[in-house]
Amino acid sequence: MYITMLGTGAAFADPDRAQSGILVTLDNGGRYLFDCGAGTVRNMVAANASPADVRAVFLTHLHHDHICDFPLFTITGWMWDRPAAPVVLGPRGTAAFCRHLFENGAFDADFRARSAYPLRQGNLDAVRPDVREVSPGLAYEDDDVTIRCDHVEHIPRDIAECFGIRFEAEGRAIAFSGDTSPCDNMVRLARNADLLIHECTFPEAFIEHRRRTGVGTFAHTSPEELGRIARDAGVKSLVATHFGHFESTNEVIRRVARHHFPVELMGPGLMNDVVRDIRKAYDGPLQLAYDLLRIDI
Ligand SMILES: [Zn+2]
Ligand SMILES: [Zn+2]
């Protein structure tokens, strides 16, 4: 199988990175999507994959940078002849999110206009997602894959659940953190995995800055912490992703970032620091993700 990193950025619109999206493609062609932030669908097509061919989507949590492209994903699948409802796995609230999107929801005018075409009446189920809100444990299983999940620590759980994932297929295991600060559940999910794809949103100084100023969530994982997680879980390889725009040179991002980050520290050079800090604890194979990176495992 192989993994395509469709989006490797975070909460901002960023010309250099789409928001979160990871596509897994099995040797038999089966495809599974993890998160669907803005830019995910465009990059999926760029990677020669159709939204209509994705068997199941797992939304790790309902932060906008993990779900913005979900309407586009679903409507595109409908237009591109998906034969049946897409399976959507996600936390508590996923059913309400989907219920308010299409028929009688935010895209009702689009639904009514498009479903007036006879061709689109033939696969209305494609725009009626089969939503399954998950609990810790086995989340999904078919002939080819199993997906297990557990809570991770990112948003207070009484506000919103956040999940980390362990995906197994073809005798291999891939773990994906979603968004989280370091937690034992994620280490357990990643135990001896062939590949851990883990968020690395901010360098240490940026998380500290956000903790001090109270801007946004600081419940993320720093590079030093990520190195320890990968070491403690005994993973065979590591991909860091969900980079929080700290390396951006874009003028707009640098201007708005002054409310969020220590702007004087921003720049591409920080990526070298990220590697150095992950390496303090972890010495296995390591890649920093970029959009459309393909990983064969
Ligand atoms: Zn995020
Ligand atoms: Zn988040």
Q: Tens digit of pLDDT for each residue in 105-137?
A: 999 999 999 999 999 999 999 999 999 999 999
Question: What gap in Å lies between CA 294 and CA 297, rounded to an integer?
Answer: 10
pLDDT tier at 56, thresholds 50, 70, 90 = very high
pLDDT at 272: 96
Ligand nearest to the CA of 242: 1
Cα 186 to averaged position of ligand 1 atoms, centre (Å)? 16
pLDDT tens, position by position, 230-247: 999 999 999 999 999 999
Region 148-171: what's the mean pLDDT? Answer: 97
Cα 198 to averaged position of ligand 1 atoms, centre (Å)? 11
pLDDT at 33: 98
Ligand nearest to the CA of 37: 1
Q: Find how far residue 102's CA is from the centre of its chain.
A: 22
Dihedral angle, C-alpha 67, 30, 148, 78, nearest 10 °: 30
DSSP SS3 for 184: helix
pLDDT at 14: 97
For the entire predicted model, the pTM comes to: 0.97
Question: What gap in Å lies between CA 156 and CA 264, rounded to an integer?
Answer: 31
Other CB atoms within 10 Å distance of the CB of residue 281: 16
Question: What gap in Å lies between CA 173 and CA 178, rounded to an integer?
Answer: 16
pLDDT at 154: 96
Cα 275 to averaged position of ligand 1 atoms, centre (Å)? 20
Cα 118 to averaged position of ligand 1 atoms, centre (Å)? 39
pLDDT tier at 290, thresholds 50, 70, 90 = very high
Cα 179 to averaged position of ligand 1 atoms, centre (Å)? 6
Cα 169 to averaged position of ligand 2 atoms, centre (Å)? 26
Q: What share of the chain is helix, strand, coil (3-state, %, to 5)?
A: 30, 25, 45
Cα 20 to averaged position of ligand 1 atoms, centre (Å)? 7
Q: How far is CA 186 from CA 51, 101, 113, 144, 175, in A?
A: 28, 31, 44, 23, 8
Cα 183 to averaged position of ligand 2 atoms, centre (Å)? 15
Residue 261 in tokens: 């980050």
Ligand nearest to the CA of 35: 1
Res 218 pLDDT > 80: no
Amino acid at 200: C
Cα 29 to averaged position of ligand 2 atoms, centre (Å)? 29
Cα 66 to averaged position of ligand 1 atoms, centre (Å)? 6
pLDDT at 6: 98
Question: What gap in Å lies between CA 267 and CA 74, rounded to an integer?
Answer: 36
Res 150 pLDDT > 80: yes
Q: Classify domain 2-296 by CATH architecture.
A: 4-Layer Sandwich (3.60)
pLDDT at 207: 83
Percent share of the chain, pLDDT over 90: 93
pLDDT tier at 202, thresholds 50, 70, 90 = very high
Ligand nearest to the CA of 154: 2
pLDDT tier at 258, thresholds 50, 70, 90 = confident
pLDDT at 210: 80
pLDDT at 259: 82
Taking a 5 Å cut-off on Cβ, the residues next to ion ligand 2 are 63, 179
Average pLDDT of the chain?
96
CA-based nearest residue to 161, from 153, 171, 169 = 153
Q: 213: part of which helix (H) or strand (E)? A: helix 204-213
Ligand nearest to the CA of 216: 2
Cα 189 to averaged position of ligand 1 atoms, centre (Å)? 19
Taking a 5 Å cut-off on Cβ, the residues next to ion ligand 1 are 65, 179
Contacts of 266 by beta carbon, 8 Å cutoff, 6+ apart: 246, 247, 248, 254, 257
pLDDT at 262: 87
Among all chains, which residue has been given the structure tokens 């498009």?
A: 114
pLDDT tier at 214, thresholds 50, 70, 90 = confident
pLDDT tier at 47, thresholds 50, 70, 90 = very high
